[in-house]
Structure 1
Amino acid sequence: MKIALHGLSLKHEFLKDVRALFKSLENHGFEIFVTQQFDRNLRMHGKTGLKFEVLENPKDMDAMKFLISIGGDGTLLDSVCQVGELETPILGLNTGRLGFLATVSTDKIDEAVEHLATENFQIENRSLVSLKTKRRLFDGLNFGLNEFTIHKRDTSSMITVHTYIDGRYLNSYWADGLIVATPTGSTGYSLSCGGPLISPSAKNFVITPVSPHNLNVRPIIVSDESEISFEIEGRAERFLISLDSRSTSVSSEMKFKIRKEKFFAKLVKLPNYDFFDTLRHKLNWGFDMRN
């Protein structure tokens, strides 16, 4: 059984965990491949005698049974780009910080690999947001697991985002920016801007303004079957748009449409994992901070 490993960086203190992961995968008969990025990370540490092959062609991912993302939530978001429409199931090994998406701790490596080998897991289909423009952006990777964001550049003045739902006018947001988040992304940037938490299985998008200048404006939840379109005004000629952690500068003349992507990000859900347990743990719910 072939398995791919991906990581954006590798700190020295987690090298022992990577060795443990390789050993566990080998003991369970997995054939190990790594992405080119993770190969570069391993080379920085001298490869440490690990045995693997490098995925030289992105199409080779199609032969992989799973992809293990080694890092934090940002690495898992990048892993979704590595997989794309192939929908290879992704498991997140958390060597980062918060870990809403990368949910497997380093002390559970053997247990996680055992579940993969025995197929004792479930697959969660996480919806993606898809960006439609007349110009090719983001090297064709026009989808994101967390959110699409429109934002002013640097210290420039606020922008006005005219927003439409299925062609019907919704609102003009005078703000520093606007976020369209998936249920998965509701625990990210949208949350920090006052957006609601949404269960991963919900079929919604949430539109959240960033520092709105009209204070009666609040986040709004819409169906993920909707098409959301935007027209931008501002004193600056250019502004920023982003899909998850990837951003680019574009002209104010450009128009954008957002829809749900046709394919999903498939996340491996191991036994005893529960989204609401994760919320309580990460956000300290049910914990009396006064004591």
Structure 2
Amino acid sequence: MQISLHGREFRPEDTSSVQAVFDELRKQSIEYQVSDTFKSILNEADVDVYTDRIFEKKEDLSESEMILSLGGDGTFLETVAKVGSMEKPILGVNFGRLGFLTSIQPCDISSAIDKIKHKKYKLDERTMLCADSETELLESGTNFALNEIAISKTDTSSMIIIHAYINGEFLNSYWADGLMVATATGSTGYSLSCGGPLVMPHSDNFIITPICPHNLFVRPMIVSNKSEISLKVESRSNNYLVSMDSRAKVIGDVDSEITIKKESFKAKLVTLDGMDFLDTLRAKLGWGKDVRNRLTQTDKGESS
């Protein structure tokens, strides 16, 4: 079995846990390679990687059965971008903060790697977005996103106006700081912080969420993920920012139209036994920690 690993800078206090990943891989006799950027970070942190094998581009992942992402959700999204259309399974180990996509905790590294070796896992396929435009957006072959594709202003002054269409039919003109189209997976990310709804990850929906709209009656909207969403931008500064997960670029052509629809390939998330979206939701958002829940349970206990 061969796997690949990718990560970003981590906190000094996490060094021992990161080292534990490579110690366990060596112990389990699993072959692996490390991304070139992550290898440099590991060397600076004095983590013993036990290998000189690195990968730089997507094609270098062809022999890997799985990709380990060491970090938070941002690192995971960056790993998704590296995998792209190859659809390699990705498992996230959480060295970040919230971690909706990276559900394996450092304390569970040993058991997680053992399950990987013995193939005791399932694949959770997630729908992604893609964007197309006459203007070049991001680097060729990277115009896709697992969480969201967003258009936003590039400065702190005037708003932009975004004219939105669904399957060619006019939806609305948004006077706002921006607008995003999020997947069901991305409902727990940027969309949530902008007031968007939580959506079960396998729902066949996209979420159109305005960013700080200058109209109280403009609200997020859920549409079918079979929809084709077209966006046209008006901007006083004659530019705007396009972001796709962790990648962004300033676009200077305000006359171009951006079309967003479902990507032809999917992201494959590795899930181990005991991993459940609703459990993750309650744990990450602190649901059930209201003191009234404990009081209710106490009252029930006393009545019985």
Same fold by TM-score, threshold 0.5 exceeded?
A: yes
User: Could you tell me how far apart the structure 2 residues matched to 1:109 and 1:72 are?
Assistant: 15
Quote the residue 2:258 is aligned against: 256
- Per the alignment, in what secondary structure is the counterpart of residue 62 of structure 2? helix
8 Å CA contact retained: 1:121, 1:268 = yes
How do 1:1-291 and structure 2 match up within 5 A? 1-48=1-48, 50-140=50-140, 141-251=142-252, 252-288=254-290
Q: CA deviation at 1:57?
A: 4.2
8 Å CA contact retained: 2:126, 2:269 = yes
8 Å CA contact retained: 1:2, 1:32 = yes
Change (3 A) 1:176 1:289: farther
- C-alpha distance after superposition, 1:220-259 (max 9, x if no partner): 1011111100111132211111101211111212210001
- Per the alignment, in what secondary structure is the counterpart of residue 92 of structure 1? strand
- Per the alignment, in what secondary structure is the counterpart of residue 104 of structure 1? coil
- Per the alignment, in what secondary structure is the counterpart of residue 15 of structure 2? helix
Query: Could you tell which deviates more after superposition, 162-171 or 14-23?
Result: 14-23
For this pair of structures, how many residues does the alignment match? 291
User: Could you tell me how far apart the structure 2 residues matched to 1:204 and 1:231 are?
Assistant: 22
Change (3 A) 1:234 1:56: closer
Query: Could you tell which deviates more after superposition, 201-210 or 233-242?
Result: 233-242
Q: Over aligned residue pairs, what C-alpha RMSD do you find?
A: 1.4
- C-alpha distance after superposition, 1:14-71 (max 9, x if no partner): 2211221112112222101001111111121245363351114431101101100000
- Per the alignment, in what secondary structure is the counterpart of residue 48 of structure 1? coil
Q: Which stretches in structure 1 are left out of the alignment for 5+ residues? A: none
Q: Which stretches in structure 2 are left out of the alignment for 5+ residues? A: 295-304
| Percent of pairs with identical residues | 46
8 Å CA contact retained: 1:32, 1:52 = no
Q: CA deviation at 1:110?
A: 0.7
User: Could you tell me how far apart the structure 1 residues matched to 2:23 and 2:194 are?
Assistant: 42
- Per the alignment, in what secondary structure is the counterpart of residue 231 of structure 2? strand
Query: Could you tell which deviates more after superposition, 68-77 or 116-125?
Result: 116-125
8 Å CA contact retained: 2:133, 2:258 = yes
User: Could you tell me how far apart the structure 1 residues matched to 2:114 and 2:131 are?
Assistant: 38
User: Could you tell me how far apart the structure 2 residues matched to 1:54 and 1:159 are?
Assistant: 43
Paired amino acid for 1:6: H
User: Could you tell me how far apart the structure 1 residues matched to 2:118 and 2:191 are?
Assistant: 37
User: Could you tell me how far apart the structure 1 residues matched to 2:67 and 2:213 are?
Assistant: 39
TM-score (norm 2): 0.92
Q: CA deviation at 1:166?
A: 0.7
